[in-house]
Amino acid sequence: MNQNNNLQQTDDSLPLWSAEDVDLSSFNALRSPDDKQGKPVNDMRQLFHKQVIIDDETVLDVETIKVPGFIGIADEQKITDPNGSSVSGHEDIVQYLDKYGLLICTFQYNKDRYGKAIDLRKPPEDHELSDLVEIFIKNEGHHSGAIVPALWNGGRTKAFGSLNEPDTYHDGLYGHDGFIAVAQRLVFPEFVTPQQARGYTDSMICWMALMNPFVEFSENDFNGNDPTHVCDGPTLKEFLQNCALASLGSKEAIDFLNNSENRAYCAEFIYICLNTPVYPFNKQGLTLLLDGDKAKATEILKIRDKQNSRKKNILSKTSENLQFKEFNIQMPVVPEDLPPLDVLMAKNGQPPEPNSIPFPPFTLSQVLRRAFRTLLKRQEDVNNTKIAKAQAQMLGYLEPLILRQLGIITPPRETESPNEGLISRIPLEFFSVSPAPNDPKVKAVREFIAFVQEQLQRKFDSYEEFDLSFDQVMAKADELIGKDGVTYFIPPRIYVDLGQHEGDNNLPKGWGFRLETMGALIYRGFIRGTGSSSLPSHGGADPVTNTPSHERDHQPSSKQPPSSMGGNRMH
């Protein structure tokens, strides 16, 4: 998200497997719990391609995500590859973590729904709208989390863990071997030293670890009706203050985090954590956050030290992340002289705007704009009448979603279930709720859609002219929301969008770092390659029983620390 182009470069020595290295027979044989009857993949280079049927004669083949290659990963430390060789499920990903500190990962449905075309020749049926939203608006991204360093076998073996919201997700690991995720690293400006860059990613890990036990998963629908509370400097400080105080047992802070407006879904949790470098997880950063209270800052750092000494503490007791509870995920010690990121930026002649945050949220117009740019591209033929018509048709099909995102129609509340497996699936019931026919907001939305449809089918002298015109038109979507509407959105796809760097000037402008796509994570057992030489001689015992999370019977989990008050949270 940083506009500074003078950035650190990737290390070509990191393990990155090609499409040809993936054994398609193994890859296609294993279905994930999210399987949507996708077709077998015949070429891994086509994994992130989608087919769009425009009319009886026209089918578009669109690459929706570009990845430089594949990164092997597995929950188990020792696995067998397609050649029958014993390999490490951790070795590849550990090298990335050693280099970059953490990876932001968006889990994708591309394999689960592979080969299913989007047919725009007729309006979708009610039961098809949910899939259309996941494919078009979300670009198949359904969950975001962070892959972080871990230490297994009592701290003797480098491994990995994950931090997610809800904290039970994937048992603190990668999850089912059939999952696919696209990984992003953080890239800092050149004036940020490697030691400082690692300090900021370590600080983010500490904040994730502190927040995770207390931040509640959204009870409201997280596909539009859940507000993004943190959106600027003051709201970020308020939220982090309450997280810090919750770790010290404050009932008021816990009540704040239990409030429906302050709950966070998966992508929102990651978004908040990416904004924490303005308050480094060291004594000076915590003291700044806590308005000069050094004593409280010291107490929080003692909690960190207990976690790193593998001693029970309020976080390990309250967390339901198995890797954190077993002390495999640690809280790295952040250098005391690491300054807030905004201070470092200002010292190097790039002062951020007052009250801004490094990683700003998306608006409705930016979400819609990005969806069109990804799937119905006009870059190569700006006046292609068929694509222009398809864009106009698609926008019309999305009316129920837009009304929902703006809070104009509200579906019946879903029955909560502790065994819900797809944490970002849109309930079909939402589409069956009709808006009031005379609602002036509904009329305004329909007039807006008709206006945009007309503009999409104009003639343009260049793609640049179309791009500018479309940006200006789509910005009017934000005006429809008004002061009382849900203004900001954090769909899981944004981390991939921001890592692609394809010249999209409509994305939010942040500062301090940007994201860069490293590759697609896939099960290491699908990859043909040489056996690992880095396995411990005994093979390395797994620290916890690794039953995939979809096979466990998760029960409602108390998110309150010992002797505090509050309700239960459902998964």
Euclidean distance between CA atoms 451 and 472, whole angstroms: 12
Residue 568: pLDDT over 50: no
Residue 170 belongs to some domain of the structure? yes
Query: Is residue 345 domain-shared with residue 242, that is, in the same domain?
Result: yes
Residue 555: pLDDT over 60: no
Q: Which of 308, 396, 434, 341 is nearest to 122 (CA)?
A: 396
Query: What's CA 48's distance to the chain center, in Å?
Result: 17
**Run of H or E residues at 233:** helix 233-246
Query: Is residue 97 domain-shared with residue 214, that is, in the same domain?
Result: yes
Query: Is residue 348 domain-shared with residue 371, that is, in the same domain?
Result: no
Query: Is residue 396 domain-shared with residue 357, that is, in the same domain?
Result: no
Residue 163 belongs to some domain of the structure? yes
Query: Is residue 28 domain-shared with residue 151, that is, in the same domain?
Result: yes
Euclidean distance between CA atoms 403 and 411, whole angstroms: 11
Band of pLDDT at residue 391, cut at 50, 70 and 90: very high
Average pLDDT over the chain, rounded to an integer = 85
In the 8-state DSSP scheme, what is residue 226? S
The residue segments making up the domain with residue 476 are 363-410+437-488
Euclidean distance between CA atoms 360 and 272, whole angstroms: 9
Query: Is residue 380 domain-shared with residue 350, that is, in the same domain?
Result: no
The predicted pLDDT at position 487 comes to 74
For residue range 111-130, what is the model confidence (pLDDT) as tens digits? 999 999 999 999 988 778 88
In the 8-state DSSP scheme, what is residue 17? B
Residue 301: pLDDT over 60: yes
Residue 363: pLDDT over 70: yes
Strand 362-363 and strand 118-119: the pairing is: unpaired
The predicted pLDDT at position 327 comes to 97
Residue 236: pLDDT over 70: yes
Query: Is residue 149 domain-shared with residue 234, that is, in the same domain?
Result: yes
- Supply 2's token pair: 């940083």
- The answer to whether residues 160 and 149 touch, using CB atoms and an 8 Å cutoff, is yes
Cβ density class 326-360: b for 16+ within 10 Å, e for less:
bbbbbbbebeeebbbbbebbeeeebebeeeebbbb
The predicted pLDDT at position 10 comes to 45
Query: Is residue 320 domain-shared with residue 377, that is, in the same domain?
Result: no
Residue 324 belongs to some domain of the structure? yes
Query: Is residue 295 domain-shared with residue 376, that is, in the same domain?
Result: no
Is the backbone of residue 136 left (phi > 0), alpha (psi -120 to 50) or beta? alpha
Euclidean distance between CA atoms 257 and 565, whole angstroms: 12
For residue range 25-35, what is the model confidence (pLDDT) as tens digits? 999 999 999 99
Residue 95: pLDDT over 60: yes
Residue 492: pLDDT over 70: yes
For residue range 58-79, what is the model confidence (pLDDT) as tens digits? 999 999 999 999 999 999 999 9
Residue 308: pLDDT over 80: yes
Residue 123 belongs to some domain of the structure? yes
Q: Which of 363, 431, 366, 369 is nearest to 403 (CA)?
A: 431
Query: What's CA 470's distance to the chain center, in Å?
Result: 26
The predicted pLDDT at position 486 comes to 60
Burial of 34 (0-12, 13-18, 19+ CB in 10 A): buried
State the pTM of this model: 0.86
Q: Pinpoint the alpha helices (H) of 251-398.
A: 251-258, 266-274, 283-289, 294-308, 314-318, 322-325, 341-347, 364-375, 385-397
Residue 428 belongs to some domain of the structure? no
The predicted pLDDT at position 426 comes to 46
Q: Which of 436, 426, 498, 442 is nearest to 106 (CA)?
A: 498
Residue 224: pLDDT over 80: no
Q: Which of 467, 508, 223, 514 is nearest to 362 (CA)?
A: 508
Residue 449: pLDDT over 60: yes
For residue range 321-338, what is the model confidence (pLDDT) as tens digits? 999 999 999 999 999 999
Q: What percent of the chain has pLDDT over 90?
A: 66
Helices 364-375 and 463-474, packing angle to 10 deg:
150
The predicted pLDDT at position 280 comes to 98
The predicted pLDDT at position 435 comes to 66
**Run of H or E residues at 53:** strand 49-55
Give the C-alpha distances (Å, rounded to integers) separating 183 from 20, 70, 299, 352, 551.
20, 10, 34, 27, 25
Q: Which of 145, 65, 141, 68 is nearest to 103 (CA)?
A: 145
The predicted pLDDT at position 126 comes to 77
Count of domains forming the chain: 2
- The answer to whether residues 265 and 217 touch, using CB atoms and an 8 Å cutoff, is yes
Residue 421: pLDDT over 90: no
Residue 106 belongs to some domain of the structure? yes
The predicted pLDDT at position 559 comes to 42
Residue 351 belongs to some domain of the structure? yes
Query: Is residue 343 domain-shared with residue 371, that is, in the same domain?
Result: no
Among 159-168, 222-231, 345-354, 356-365, the least confident range: 222-231
Residue 562: pLDDT over 50: no
Query: Is residue 184 domain-shared with residue 313, that is, in the same domain?
Result: yes
For residue range 140-163, what is the model confidence (pLDDT) as tens digits? 999 999 999 999 999 999 999 999
Cβ density class 464-493: b for 16+ within 10 Å, e for less:
eebbeebeebbeebeebbeeeebebbbbbb
Residue 279 belongs to some domain of the structure? yes
Euclidean distance between CA atoms 110 and 398, whole angstroms: 21
Query: Is residue 476 domain-shared with residue 401, that is, in the same domain?
Result: yes
Band of pLDDT at residue 221, cut at 50, 70 and 90: very low
